[in-house]
Amino acid sequence: MDFKGGARYRNPQAWIDKVVCREPALRNVHLSFPPRFSARLKFFGQATLQEKGISGKTLIGRRSLASKAELIDTIIHEELHHRIWKRAARGRKKDMMRIEDEQLEEAYVELISARFMRWKGL
Ligand SMILES: [Zn+2]
């Protein structure tokens, strides 16, 4: 499918799947959950913690459809939250500290995703 013009807004999930599958910057990034478009989401993205009986989730909001770089940035951002939660659950002290302070966790995620984007030249 060709996603020029407004096509990604008409078929956001197909575009997200294509970027996840084809984008070289994401090639060696193992995502905890396949990113799912949410038309209702007001944020760029949202990671949802896995709970007993319920799978975790990575949701992508409309604002992340603005550009490929924006989408990749959001995917990496939400993935970092999942990884922090996973490491904290295993008892890694640094990550346990991060999840106790929402601002600290967010600042860390912002820092690492910005570093990733620079490293990939995006
Ligand atoms: Zn965040």
Exposure string for 50-73, b = 16+ CB within 10 A, e = fewer = eeeeeeebbbbbbebbeebeebbb
What would the pLDDT profile of 43-86 be if each residue is shown by its tens digit?
A: 999 999 988 888 999 999 999 999 999 999 999 999 999 999 99
Q: How far apart are CA 8 and CA 83, in angstroms?
A: 28
- Domain positions in the chain: 7-119
Query: In terms of Cα–Cα distance, which of 17, 67, 23, 19 is closest to 44?
Result: 67
What three-state secondary structure class fits 5? Answer: coil
Q: How many Å lie between the centroid of ligand 1 and the Cα of residue 106?
A: 5
Q: How many Å lie between the centroid of ligand 1 and the Cα of residue 74?
A: 9
pLDDT at 6 over 90: no
Q: How many Å lie between the centroid of ligand 1 and the Cα of residue 47?
A: 8
- What pLDDT, on the 0 to 100 scale, is given for residue 65? 96
Q: Give the angle 119-86-118 at the CA atoms, nearest 5°.
A: 10
Q: How many Å lie between the centroid of ligand 1 and the Cα of residue 42?
A: 13
Q: How many Å lie between the centroid of ligand 1 and the Cα of residue 24?
A: 23
